[in-house]
Amino acid sequence: MQSKTEEFPTTFEEIETRRARPKNCELYEEFSQRNISETIQLRQTEYEKADPEMRKKLIIAVEEEIGDFETWLSEIKNLEPTIAHFYAVSLKSLLTGFAFGMQVAELFDVALKKTTY
């Protein structure tokens, strides 16, 4: 009979690959009908190539999308308004094209899991 310890990951990298995506990323994909990874990569490229005026326009477009996403979360998914707001806002930096946004999304997800139990 094999030892049960063999079932556990042996390296940090293995643990990282097993981590589930934050719930807000899954909900965004359902809302937008687009793969969030592809959306983020596309927007990072657009943001990096954009001049200052175009960056402002990209940010405004994302803010509108975040508002629509928050409304969808509240009205269609029946999330509490506060949770819908946090889920939406935590994706803002990601959807704008800022590389550090994923850590923010994960922090919001962890915080919400701790407060909703």
| Residue 7 lies inside a defined structural domain of this protein | no
CB 74 within 8 A of CB 10: no
Segment 1-46, tens digit of pLDDT:
554 444 544 444 444 444 566 888 899 999 999 998 899 889 988 9
Residue burial 19-45, b: 16+ Cβ < 10 Å; e: rest = eeebbbbebbeebeeeebeebbeebbe
CB 80 within 8 A of CB 20: no
For the chain, how many structural domains are there in total?
A: 1
Residue 103: half-sphere exposure toward Cβ, Cα within 13 Å: 3
Helix axes 23-32, 36-49, angle to 10 degrees: 80
| Residue 35 lies inside a defined structural domain of this protein | yes
Segment 46-97, tens digit of pLDDT:
988 999 999 999 999 999 999 999 999 999 999 999 999 999 998 888 888 7
How is residue 51 annotated by DSSP?
A: -
| Residue 8 lies inside a defined structural domain of this protein | no
| Residue 11 lies inside a defined structural domain of this protein | no
Burial class (CB in 10 A: 0-12, 13-18, 19+), 62: buried
| Residue 25 lies inside a defined structural domain of this protein | yes
Its domain, for residue 32, covers: 21-115
Segment 103-114, tens digit of pLDDT:
555 555 665 666
| Residue 9 lies inside a defined structural domain of this protein | no
